Amino acid sequence: MKNKIIILLILCLFLCGCGNYRELNQIAIITGIGIDKKDDNYEVSMLIANAGKSETSSKEGESKPTVYSGKGSSLIEATKEVDRKTPKQLYFGHINVVLISEDIAKEGFLNVADWLLRNPESRKKFYLLMTKDKTAKEVLEIVSPLEAFPSQNIGTLMESNEETQAIASSITYSDFINNILNEGLEPVLPSITVAGSSKEGESKANLDKTSPSSYLKLETLAIFKGDKFQDYTNANDSKLINILKNTVKQSVFTINYDKTKVNFNMKNIKSKITIQNNQKFNIKVKGDATLAEINSNTNLNDEKIINNIESKLNNQITKDINNLIKKLQTKYKSDILGLGNMIYKNYPDTWQKIKNNWNDTYFPKAQINIQTDIQLVSTGSLENTIRKEYQK
């Protein structure tokens, strides 16, 4: 009996296999997708990773992207047109980024979400961005001397900015859909554009220049209401939104002090939003600050001056957050902080009564108390300012 079981197990090893197995040279690996609206039709653009011929050699760092586009009254029709243009079978398992244009975002993202969700090959963990002042196709075609493919360039931009600037944060398709479907929470998306000429940027000659004619540039956050795009924030508000949503850990801030600007590197930033009742909320922001630049005769050895600088920094951040919240309540009327979601979880009966009018009626009246606790932990490697040292 034991021998029979062993034989059966061996046979299973020979019989098992992948039913949808395909050779690598038979598939076109898609690393990026752009979705635009053109002449009342959808235009889908796909960046193919293995577009180059297998026998072609290239110097290190050279990019050989190929973008195929197709149009149709639906996304599946547009995809079929792309499929007819490519000699290989499209493969969606390695998508790194999906770009949507302003026109798509204004109509509503859910119009295109179903197509992305139903594809069984895609992992749903790709970056999602909105293109500002450019079509998704134009952004997808820009080549970079630092990355092999534009989709990798966008991914690297997102990760780098998230670590240093905090103006943009990485948002995946799954994150965005969850924010749309969550009760009492409105989504945001990072935006991206092309600095310079789009035509020159898609040329491989752009790779050979010490200063590229055009390049991809991350822009500010796009505010949504439901699945529809409302407006763009400015750079400072984008930074504050990411801090309040705990999507970044460090950033930079500037204040005016002693007739000059003082710049800080901020680290270990954390924010916490709590609810008192269905109309009162508290926001607390904590973090560490390091003095990065100061061009004045300020005496940094004076403890009172250090405390004064720290106090001004906290006051400025509190003021900026209050201004942001006022815009969210009155200009955008979009609860991207999820205050309504806290009511939904803590006061479900109340939420059922107000949810249909939350953004337009109740959210603008919400009372939000701001408290910041930013500690100035270091003045940098100099004990004093460079001007003070020079005058000794």
Chain region(s) in the chain for CATH 3.30.300.210: 234-392
Give domain 234-392's CATH superfamily: Nutrient germinant receptor protein C, domain 3 (3.30.300.210)
Q: How many CA atoms lie within 13 A of 377 on its CB side?
A: 12
In angstroms, rounded to a whole number, what is the distance separating the alpha carbons of residues 308 and 305? 5
- Phi and psi at residue 377, to the nearest 5°: -90, -15
Burial bucket for residue 211 (CB in 10 Å: 0-12, 13-18, 19+): exposed
Residue that is written with structure tokens 């990072």 in the block: 190
Tokens, residue 95: 């998508």
Per-residue pLDDT in tens (0 to 9) along the chain, 392 residues:
555 455 554 545 445 545 444 555 678 889 899 999 988 899 999 998 864 543 333 444 444 668 999 999 999 999 999 999 988 888 888 888 999 999 999 999 998 988 887 776 777 788 999 999 999 999 998 876 555 566 667 777 777 666 666 677 788 898 999 999 999 999 999 999 998 755 544 545 545 455 566 788 889 999 999 999 999 999 999 999 999 999 887 889 999 988 889 999 999 999 999 999 989 999 999 999 999 888 878 788 888 989 999 999 999 999 999 999 999 999 999 999 999 999 999 999 999 999 999 999 999 999 999 999 999 998 764 555 434 444 45
Tokens, residue 26: 């038979």
pLDDT of residue 169: 78
- Phi and psi at residue 6, to the nearest 5°: -60, -45
Q: Which residues fall within 8 angstroms of residue 373, CB to CB, at 6 or more apart?
A: 284, 285, 286, 287, 314
Sequence-ordered alpha helix ranges (H) in the chain: 2-15, 75-85, 102-107, 110-118, 136-140, 150-164, 173-181, 198-201, 235-244, 303-327, 339-346, 348-354, 386-390
Q: Which of 385, 386, 274 is nearest to 337 (CA)?
A: 274
Q: What is the DSSP string of 238-268?
A: HHHHHHHTT--S-EEEEEEETTEEEEEEEEE
Whole-angstrom CA distances from 29 to 108, 116, 143 are 28, 16, 18
pLDDT of residue 103: 95
- Phi and psi at residue 120, to the nearest 5°: -70, -20
Strands 260-277 and 251-257, by their bridges, are antiparallel
